[in-house]
Amino acid sequence: SSEVLEAIENVIQGVFQSLAQKKAPVLTVANRTDWRNIEFKDSVGLQMIPRCTTKQIRSDCPQSATRFALMLKILSMIYKMVQSNTYATKRDIYYSDTLLFGSQSVVDQIINDISCMLKIPRRSLHVLSTTKGFVAGNLSYTEEDGTKVNCTCSATAVTVPSNVQGIKNLTSHAKFILIVEKDATFQRLLDDDFFSKVSPCIMITGRGIPDLNTRLLVRKLWDSFQIPIFTLMDADPHGVEIMCVYKYGSVSMSFEAHHLTVPSIKWLGLLPSDLERLNICKDALIPFTKQDENKLASIQKRPYIACQPLWKRELEIMAASKLKAEIQALTSLSSDYLSRVYLPNKLQFGGWL
């Protein structure tokens, strides 16, 4: 915490020095969303290059003066929280003054900019994300406040903790981890008691694009147990993108890649090649939209696809067919095909990429 306080004090000292020299204070932040500032590394995923391009948030420029003021406001809130060892979610910060901040996304972007500017992970700034992910299966741990959580005996899923950094005493006999894209599929597998029938495993869902806590938990489980991690996604460009976020990270959070990515993640399904192999009826498939085509074309150009020839082939199959399928398409074969046939066969015979 002393490191965080010192980093904030240095920023404020810089503001004072500018004022003392009768200059307009400026905050310098990295261009987080610029692909030119990102490099791809097999062992880490997408990470920010050391000498990246920056942008200035000036206090004397009408376009950026408000943002400058909001950054100082949030810096002061973080400083107080670190001093008093209290935490707040991004929503708490927004609702502390909705008129001032204007929208939740403004708060989210500023917090990420501050984290990147100070080179300090967001959790160390005492800012927590609102969690939307669920975890179930062969896992127990102790939360920071001492609460013992057992995901094994629960018939319903447990919400991913909002302070993943603080959990300890993780124990599991799981043989693998399964990341499920969607809540509906996750609940179906839970109802089918999948995680105890096949072999002990841990199931996680970020319910679509994963929030920070779900990504942190996947990384923490990987660090703790070093067991295989598989993804179960829709066979569409959106599903592939979500899988890439877990595996290689996202451009906007590339400055925190070391804490968030798990490059060893495998693509278990639903593979575009599975659709033909399983002879899934055409009625269960959905034609591509223009948006799907654009999304797929952009994914195919990304640096990490070049080093994944098998993935590349699957994306080419998808592009050629111009058809996509949700995981639910497997129910056209039988209602419990996913948990009874598809997943057990894949896991037993190594049907992943």
**Chain centre to alpha carbon of residue 258:** 13
Residue 157 is predicted with a pLDDT of 85
Residue 134 is predicted with a pLDDT of 92
Cα distances (angstroms) measured from residue 46 to each of 187, 214, 343: 31, 18, 29
CA dist 180 and 234 (Å) reads 9
pLDDT at 333 over 90: no
pLDDT, mean over the chain: 87
Q: CB-based contacts of 16: which residues, under 8 Å, 6+ apart?
A: none
Whether 194 and 268 have beta carbons less than 8 Å apart is answered as no
Q: Which one of the listed residues 94, 95, 248, 342 is annotated catalytic? A: 95
Residue 351 is predicted with a pLDDT of 83
Q: What one-character-per-residue DSSP string does 258-269 give? A: HHH--TT-EEEE
- pLDDT category, 229, cuts 50, 70, 90? very high
Going along the chain from its start, the domains and CATH numbers come out as 2-128 (1.10.10.10), 134-349 (3.40.1360.10)
Cα distances (angstroms) measured from residue 294 to each of 102, 126, 209, 282, 300: 32, 38, 18, 23, 10
Q: Indicate if 337 belongs to the active site.
A: no
**Residues pairing with 266 in the sheet:** 230
CA dist 30 and 116 (Å) reads 7
Whether 110 and 97 have beta carbons less than 8 Å apart is answered as no
Q: What one-character-per-residue DSSP string does 36-86 give? A: GGEEEETTTEEEE-SS--EEEEESSSTTTHHHHHHHHHHHHHHHHHHHHT-
Q: Which of 171, 161, 82, 160 lies closest to 118 in space, CA to CA?
A: 82
Residue 3 is predicted with a pLDDT of 86
Share of the chain above pLDDT 70, in %: 99
Note the pLDDT tens digit of each residue in 51-108.
Answer: 777 788 888 888 888 889 999 999 999 999 999 988 888 889 899 888 889 889 899 8
Instruction: Determine if the pTM surpasses 0.85.
Output: no
Q: CB-based contacts of 181: which residues, under 8 Å, 6+ apart?
A: 205, 206, 208, 231, 232, 233, 234, 239, 242, 243, 327
Structural tokens at position 202: 């841990």
pLDDT at 316 over 90: yes
Residue 204 is predicted with a pLDDT of 94
Q: CB-based contacts of 17: which residues, under 8 Å, 6+ apart?
A: none
Continuous segment of H or E residues that includes residue 236:
none
DSSP-derived 3-state class of residue 148 = strand
Whether 88 and 101 have beta carbons less than 8 Å apart is answered as no
**Residues pairing with 140 in the sheet:** 150, 171
CA dist 165 and 343 (Å) reads 31
**Residues pairing with 48 in the sheet:** 38
Continuous segment of H or E residues that includes residue 23:
none
Residue 154 is predicted with a pLDDT of 59
Note the pLDDT tens digit of each residue in 137-195.
Answer: 889 999 888 888 888 865 678 888 888 888 889 999 989 999 999 988 998 888 888 87
DSSP-derived 3-state class of residue 345 = helix
Whether 181 and 231 have beta carbons less than 8 Å apart is answered as yes
Phi-psi region of 39 (alpha: psi -120 to 50; beta: other; left: phi over 0): beta
CA dist 263 and 250 (Å) reads 13
pLDDT at 232 over 90: yes
Candidate ranges 32-36, 146-150, 226-230, 307-311; pick with highest mean pLDDT: 226-230
